[in-house]
Amino acid sequence: MAPPPPSPSMAPPGLIHSAPGPLDTSAASAAASASAASMSGSVTETPSAIQICRIMRPDDANVAGNVHGGTILKMIEEAGAIISTRHCNSQNGERCVAALARVERTDFLSPMCIGEVAHVSAEITYTSKHSVEVQVNVLSENILTGAKKLTNKATLWYVPLSLKNVDKVLEVPPVVYSRQEQEEEGRKRYEAQKLERMETKWRNGDIVQPVLNPEPNTVSYSQSSLIHLVGPSDCTLHGFVHGGVTMKLMDEVAGIVAARHCKTNIVTASVDAINFHDKIRKGCVITISGRMTFTSNKSMEIEVLVDADPVVDNSQKRYRAASAFFTYVSLSQEGKPLPVPQLVPETEDEKRRFEEGKGRYLQMKAKRQGQAEPQP
């Protein structure tokens, strides 16, 4: 798959002047504007924002009673896939489906509980020649009190794949920006992300190997793997896995690693950029492996790798399909943060990954402190 997307910076909403999606409350006025534009001979604008929602059920919960981080990631991806596929098919030409290529860093700002309604809003904020940037906000609503809170912000990147040949990446219809600076800012995010994706792919040769009788608090002690046969229910109509399905499995494995390490309830705090390096087809056997890379006093970083094995196709070897870093926190039964047992790296590779994780942690900590400072 062609490397698309860019950096984690969240652009402000309302970037694109486009007719809204069917759930937008301003549909009537926007439809009138679009009709007038069509009569005047200008380009018909395409939907740039949608919203989906559903109530959280008991089967969405973890053992602590909060909604799984993977469930929320899956909903985020579904909204992104809808709006990007709709946009990429908005003009006459070869039909396509939008495939997830990357998810930028996603913070879980507040827990979502069973019985609350999740409102997932998605908006297209930039397009390059072969990719679409979608920003997604998630709100939780207590339907008894009407109270709402922001739980997640995410930026996702999609590429349009031809329905006739899913290995062919098509061109993306352009969008109309209200200011020229918005397009330039999007281009900078795109170029920065291309470099980061390439760097990630270069270091993707690692394999998580099992170790007999590992010591507590070591990397080997908590590392975990899940093997999953990709079936029709995991896939799009065109035979490759939904990005949201992969992310949900990745979150489950990361959660197992975190729980094994600290022996307490755990919750997803954030997800660093998730890179999708190649498509996973129906019939593949995928191995999702997770290992602890770094611990601070109150958080754990877990690297998750997804390898696909096309067991029914002898012409293709096992390959790395996706990778990401998940951050978890440990909670008491009352939901209060607990200290995290410190990781004990043993091998030189584990020590190197620990130092890299420490660098990511300090960089993000500094960024958050900078954002918290009052603006002049």
Beta bridge partners of 102: 157, 275
User: Which tokens sit at 166?
Assistant: 């899913």
Which residues have CB under 8 Å from 328's CB, separation 6+? 254, 255, 258, 266, 267, 268, 269, 299, 300, 302
What 3-state class would DSSP assign to 146?
coil
Closest C-alpha among 92, 238, 77 to residue 167: 238
Q: b or e along 321-334 (b: 16 or more beta carbons within 10 Å of the residue's beta carbon)?
A: bbbbbbbbbbbeee
Q: DSSP letters of 76-134?
A: HHHHHHHHHHHHHTSSSS--EEEEEEEE--EEE-S--BTTPEEEEEEEEEEE-SS-EEE
Q: CA-CA distance, 208 to 192, in Å (whole number)?
A: 29
C-alpha to C-alpha distance for 376 and 198, rounded to whole angstroms = 37
Of residues 149, 136, 157, 73, the one with CA closest to residue 110: 149
| Contacts of range 226-232, beta carbons closer than 8 Å, 24 or more positions apart | 226/252, 226/253, 226/256, 226/287, 226/288, 227/285, 227/286, 227/287, 227/288, 228/285, 228/286, 228/288, 229/283, 229/284, 229/285, 230/280, 230/281, 230/282, 230/283, 230/284, 230/285, 230/286, 231/282, 232/282
Residues identified as active-site: 62, 251
Cβ pair 227, 240 in contact under 8 A: no
> Three-state DSSP class for 249?
helix
Give the integer Cα–Cα distance in Å for 296 and 341.
9
Q: Are 288 and 253 in contact (CB under 8 A)?
A: yes
